[in-house]
Chain A
Amino acid sequence: MSVHFDYLLRLADTSLILGQRLSEWCGHGPVLEEDLALTNVALDCIGQARLLLSHAADVEGQGRDEDQLAFLRDDGRYRNLTIVELPNGDFGATVVRNLLVNAWQAQVWASLADSTDRALAAIAEKSAKETRYHVTHAADWTIRLGDGTDESHGRMQSALDRLWPYTAEFFVVDALDEAVAAAGIAPLCRTLEAAWMATVVPVFEEATLTVPGRSPFRSRGKTGVHTEHLGHLLAGMQHLQRAYPGGQW
């Protein structure tokens, strides 16, 4: 498996799994408008994943396509960040995760403008516009609920405390990150941390939430080591293609 292909899977799978999680809100949103909002964000994420997976399939050159990559890979072959595979929790926790991940995506898309992979740069340019809107939506709700009632504040703080340790993975550099940086495909992910913090910390402060410190905990979803939650998610997402191979609408 090439380093280039594997890097594209990290981005594609993170968008895809977040999109799949958010789509679980369809018909379950706290109000109709937010049901629409979360599923709209899900749709954008899945659209981004489709572009990235199609490009990854081209780079791989083994004749696979976006559908085969999405529906016929087992969890050990998935390269998404761990945070996106965790169960949604309540609406507040979903919003906190969106803020953390969407703000990271915004930095990633911006950093890919000068990529030697021009197709990837084009996908990033397109995705950046969508992600900017997602960040605004998540920030808006984080502030409303964080600086809301005692109940909503407490739930938001506990969601942030629970999710925060998983954000360390965004910026941990491994051998693959070093190789894609050397090839000029993407800058080292570590370099995105300061700008990401500058986006999310002021939002949490305005929301009267306390940003936890860093702990030694490191999740490793991007290397293919996942929680038990991903297998269950894929079982639902992949069922149709596994039961009826090649089935179409």
Chain B
Amino acid sequence: MRVLESVPDPEIPVVSVCGLGIIRDVAIEGDGVRVVVTPTYSGCPATEVIAASIREALVAAGAGDVHIETRLSPAWTTDWITPAARASLSAYGIVPPGERPTDGAQPIRLVARSVSCPRCGGRPTTQLSAFGATACKALYRCEVCREPFEVFKEI
């Protein structure tokens, strides 16, 4: 687990795969290691890079055989992002995710989440795009300092 703490997310390098909450289980089996990973988004292009980085880090740390297993259920939620990782995201200029939307039937929500600017703390901020540079983020702009910034979408 300590080795995995040093494996960064390829697209948000201030957060480790552990901080992201995608490592669901780690077991030492003989001289090998079995790691259970839950993907963030089905189409996230980082998924394969993450698996390769985990393998590389564990082999460098002396593991013989590394077996990576993908687990879809329970599905990943941003609630699994650790408090330390949330603090790193804030410091990096990305607003951490809010509370996960409740499951089941609900009215379609058209009003974007209200957040403060991670640079100047200002409000109001405006959602520029519901989608950002990666599947997990949306794009906002601060109306006080006029700087654009990213917001982690809660799922």
17 contacts between A and B (CB under 8 A): A19-B43, A33-B129, A36-B131, A36-B139, A37-B129, A37-B130, A37-B131, A43-B135, A44-B41, A47-B44, A50-B43, A125-B74, A128-B103, A130-B41, A133-B155, A195-B105, A199-B108
Cα distance A203–B155 in the bound complex, in angstroms:
22
Q: Which residue of A lies closest to B47 (CB)?
A: A47
Whether A64 is near chain B, meaning CB under 8 Å from some CB there, is no
Judge whether B109 and A46 touch: CB under 8 Å: no
Most buried by A among B45, B77, B103: B103
CB-CB contacts below 8 Å: A117-157 with B: 118-119, 121-123, 125-130, 132-133, 135-137, 139-140, 143
Whether A168 is near chain B, meaning CB under 8 Å from some CB there, is no
Whether B61 is near chain A, meaning CB under 8 Å from some CB there, is no
The range of chain A's interface size is 35 or more
Other A-B pairs beyond A36-B129, A122-B73, 14, CB < 8 Å: A33-B129, A40-B131, A43-B41, A44-B42, A44-B43, A47-B42, A48-B43, A50-B43, A127-B42, A128-B75, A129-B155, A136-B108, A137-B130, A139-B108
Secondary structure call for the A interface: helix
Most buried by A among B41, B108, B133, B155: B108
Judge whether A133 and B73 touch: CB under 8 Å: no
Per the CB 8 Å criterion, the residue count for chain B at the interface is 29
Judge whether A44 and B135 touch: CB under 8 Å: yes
Provide the B98-140 mask, 1 if CB < 8 A to any CB of A, else 0.
0001011100111000000000000000001111110100010
Judge whether B139 and A33 touch: CB under 8 Å: yes
Q: Interface on A for B, CB 8 Å cutoff?
A: 19, 33-34, 36-37, 40-48, 50-51, 110, 118-119, 121-123, 125-130, 132-133, 135-137, 139-140, 143, 195, 199, 203
Judge whether A51 and B110 touch: CB under 8 Å: no
Judge whether B73 and A121 touch: CB under 8 Å: yes
Cα distance A46–B41 in the bound complex, in angstroms:
11
Task: Tell me the minimal C-beta distance from A210 to chain B in angstroms.
Answer: 20
Q: Which residue of A lies closest to B109 (CB)?
A: A136
Judge whether B108 and A203 touch: CB under 8 Å: yes
Whether B72 is near chain A, meaning CB under 8 Å from some CB there, is yes
Whether B55 is near chain A, meaning CB under 8 Å from some CB there, is no
Secondary structure call for the B interface: loop
Which of B73, B77, B110 is within 8 Å of A143, CB to CB? B110
Cα distance A178–B68 in the bound complex, in angstroms:
38
Q: Which residue of A lies closest to B74 (CB)?
A: A125
In the complex, which residues of chain B have a beta carbon less than 8 angstroms from the beta carbon of A127? 42
Cα distance A121–B72 in the bound complex, in angstroms:
9
Q: A125-B74, A139-B108, A139-B110 are in contact. Are A130 and B42 (CB under 8 A)?
A: yes
Q: Which residue of A lies closest to B73 (CB)?
A: A122
Cα distance A203–B43 in the bound complex, in angstroms:
27
In the complex, which residues of chain B have a beta carbon less than 8 angstroms from the beta carbon of A48? 42-43
Which 3 residue pairs across A and B have the least CB separation, nearest first?
A47-B43, A47-B42, A33-B129
Judge whether B42 and A51 touch: CB under 8 Å: yes
Q: A40-B135, A140-B110 are in contact. Are A133 and B153 (CB under 8 A)?
A: yes
Judge whether B73 and A136 touch: CB under 8 Å: no
Task: Tell me the minimal C-beta distance from A249 to chain B in angstroms.
Answer: 11
Q: Which residue of B lies closest to A144 (CB)?
A: B110
In the complex, which residues of chain B have a beta carbon less than 8 angstroms from the beta carbon of A139? 108, 110
Q: A46-B43, A129-B155 are in contact. Are A51 and B135 (CB under 8 A)?
A: no
